[in-house]
Chain A
């Protein structure tokens, strides 16, 4: 039982990070129709800036965090202006492939700036090695802070989008660009703002992942990104709460499967192999989509003829 709770906690931690990342991806997808495969690279650059500030600039952790988040916000804004604007009206596929190209470029640049990130490096957080034990479960302070921050960030983002004037305008622009423009919304600015917020969210999730894994790297979010996309689609890529739920479910499922499959064999096959776990998750995902093609919370698409 303790082991089960322990992995559920770990699942909740990765799950809330997946959920946060999925939220950012859905935000950008809805606003600009871009399936952003560069999202992991964007987040990783935010983390790398934070690492730079702490390791070389000797910044205080909180100041570095603030600077990294501000940097990511501006970085996302610039990315939209320089990169996303020219392909805004291109077909969906062109945009998706363009983000892949962008990821290649960003990662190459980051590799050039921080060659030491190829080795295993980390930055210290104020919560390192603070652990309590409740029942048989070890809880790191980092775990609690990650789950808390991710939840607050998700709630704040949802509130911002549903209650604030700018947030409502952003959703209007996502719904129908030309109508929003006629209503007087500064659509071009709003789209740039969406990218800026998306980039900020990516950096926040990336920094927490770095604290969680104790590791900073240019490719640190790449493997998570696929899970995040799957989580977003399970929940319904049009729906923000759906994306979060999908991400959290996936994180928990992954960790629980890892616990129960470890150490078992089936004939010559070692079930504990991560490949088996991935197979089960992907197969489950594909089956789930066949049963509910629009995701858990997505609305069934009605076609007007």
Chain B
């Protein structure tokens, strides 16, 4: 599956078999056609989605599109968690703290201080990055389950402080009244989120292929070996915390925009565990895994909402609405039992299955 686009076929003695660029491109396409066509299909699908929704849902298309936009925000947050946990192997559950703080920052800056929206978003990301460095430093001393629970404590701390801010200011949650007009329209919000996701994932893909990304993977696979090969553990772990916090901050700012409000539930244990659940279901250390996991966690509740409220089997009436959480839990369990390495393994499993059929 490796992409061998670089000039690997040029002979050292300058013999005449240097391939032309055209041939190399053809080779690259031949080796990666499956992945490339998958990406192209996904892009076409997501760009055409609003039009499809107009056809399917009619009047409620905008509403449904708005709900689906949330999944894009989750993808960013899941990828952020994945950089930290899947690539750099830091089992930190603190990301929801940055998520909430950044959401409040955006609303505070844009609403109360009347700053332009983009400045608010950038400043919120910067604050999240700073918090990532501040908390990431001490976190390097802690490992394993201790780090997981300690960072969970960070989330609860953020939750308490944000709740306190709300109660002190005498409000339920922090209403975002000053959203730029362009983003109050569901279609433009969808495309805005979509573009942010595409740019984030493109940059993220390059990051994981860069020196930094390879250092993360080296730390994950064997810390001692990575260190002996000259990977500065402290620096790269801290970098992972910072990048992850920044991206989570971006997602948090978008979330406040999406919901028109920032509330302390953004920094809740449930939220942080949802981020972890996304990458565990999707697959650790994989971009496609982050996407699949966020879609699973974001979409399944929406699909369950489409079920009829009451199903009658014979004489028994089953109240589906009260069962939704349970059904979601069962689906989650099945996904974890059958794909312990995440949904990202589905394409590989499918390929293996097809090959076996071809052979027999």
Q: In the complex, are the beta carbons of B332 and A290 less than 8 A apart?
A: no
The residue on A at minimum CB distance from B94 is A286
A61 within 8 A of B: no
With a cutoff of 8 Å between Cβ atoms, the chain B residues found around residue A86 in the complex are 337
Within 8 A of B (CB), among A1-35: 29, 35
**Given the known A-B contacts A104-B332, A273-B164, are A293 and B145 also in contact in the complex, defined by CB atoms under 8 Å?**
no
Alpha-carbon distance between A303 and B226 when the two chains are bound, in angstroms = 14
Which residues does B use to contact A, with CB under 8 Å? 85, 91, 138, 141-143, 145-146, 148-150, 152-154, 156-157, 160-161, 163-164, 167-168, 223-224, 269, 273, 276-277, 280-281, 284, 322-323, 325-330, 332-333, 336-337, 340-341
Which 8 pairs of residues, A with B, have the shortest CB-CB distance? A108-B326, A104-B329, A101-B332, A105-B329, A90-B340, A279-B160, A282-B157, A233-B149
Q: In the complex, are the beta carbons of B336 and A101 less than 8 A apart?
A: yes
Q: In the complex, are the beta carbons of A97 and B146 less than 8 A apart?
A: no
**Cβ-neighbour of B269 out of A93, A96, A98, A226 (below 8 A):** A226
Could you list some 9 contacts between A and B, CB below 8 A?
Answer: A35-B148, A83-B333, A94-B280, A97-B277, A98-B336, A103-B329, A233-B149, A268-B168, A289-B146
With a cutoff of 8 Å between Cβ atoms, the chain B residues found around residue A230 in the complex are 149, 153
With a cutoff of 8 Å between Cβ atoms, the chain B residues found around residue A305 in the complex are 224
Alpha-carbon distance between A270 and B168 when the two chains are bound, in angstroms = 7
Nearest CB on B from A256, distance (A): 18
With a cutoff of 8 Å between Cβ atoms, the chain B residues found around residue A278 in the complex are 156-157, 160
Total number of A residues with any Cβ neighbor in B under 8 Å? 53
Nearest CB on B from A240, distance (A): 15
Q: Mark A286-305, 1 if CB is under 8 A from B, else 0.
A: 10011001110010010101
Which residues does A use to contact B, with CB under 8 Å? 29, 35, 37, 83, 86-87, 89-94, 96-98, 100-105, 107-109, 111-112, 226, 229-230, 232-233, 237, 268-270, 273, 275-276, 278-279, 282-283, 285-286, 289-290, 293-295, 298, 301, 303, 305
Q: In the complex, are the beta carbons of A29 and B153 less than 8 A apart?
A: no
**Given the known A-B contacts A93-B276, A226-B269, A230-B153, are A290 and B284 also in contact in the complex, defined by CB atoms under 8 Å?**
no
Secondary structure at the B interface, as helix, strand, loop or mixed, is helix
**Given the known A-B contacts A100-B277, A104-B328, are A93 and B323 also in contact in the complex, defined by CB atoms under 8 Å?**
no
Alpha-carbon distance between A294 and B277 when the two chains are bound, in angstroms = 26
The residue on A at minimum CB distance from B149 is A233
Alpha-carbon distance between A188 and B127 when the two chains are bound, in angstroms = 49
With a cutoff of 8 Å between Cβ atoms, the chain B residues found around residue A89 in the complex are 340
Q: In the complex, are the beta carbons of B164 and A279 less than 8 A apart?
A: yes
Nearest CB on A from B339, distance (A): 9
With a cutoff of 8 Å between Cβ atoms, the chain A residues found around residue B145 in the complex are 29, 35, 92, 233, 237
The residue on A at minimum CB distance from B223 is A303
The residue on A at minimum CB distance from B93 is A96
Q: In the complex, are the beta carbons of A97 and B164 less than 8 A apart?
A: no
Q: In the complex, are the beta carbons of B326 and A104 less than 8 A apart?
A: yes
With a cutoff of 8 Å between Cβ atoms, the chain A residues found around residue B284 in the complex are 91, 93
The residue on A at minimum CB distance from B167 is A273
Nearest CB on B from A2, distance (A): 30
With a cutoff of 8 Å between Cβ atoms, the chain B residues found around residue A96 in the complex are 148, 276
Q: In the complex, are the beta carbons of B168 and A269 less than 8 A apart?
A: yes
